Amino acid sequence: MSSPAVTAEIGDLPETSALSSGATVWLTGLPSAGKTTVARAAADRLRANGRRVEVLDGDAVREHLSAGLGFSRSDRETNISRIGFVAELLARNGVLVLAAVISPYESARSEVRNRHATNGVPYLEVHVAAPVEVCSSRDVKGLYARQRAGQIRGLTGVDDVYEIPAEPDLVLRTESLSLGESVDQVLTLLAKRGLL
Q: What is the CATH number of domain 4-9+20-131+162-192?
A: 3.40.50.300
pLDDT tens, residue by residue, 62-107: 777 777 787 788 888 999 999 999 999 999 999 999 999 999 999 9
pLDDT tens, residue by residue, 7-17: 555 555 444 33
CA distance 91 to 98: 10
Ranges of each domain in the chain: 4-9+20-131+162-192
Q: Distances from the Cα of 56 to the Cαs of 89, 98, 192, in angstroms?
A: 12, 6, 23
Catalytic residue numbers, as ranges:
103
**What's residue 15's pLDDT?**
41
pLDDT tens, residue by residue, 123-140: 999 999 999 999 888 888
Q: Distances from the Cα of 26 to the Cαs of 54, 71, 98, 141, 174, in angstroms?
A: 12, 20, 6, 21, 16
b (16+ CB within 10 A) / e for 29-47? bbbbbbbbbbbbbbbebbe
Cβ(23)–Cβ(96) under 8 Å? yes
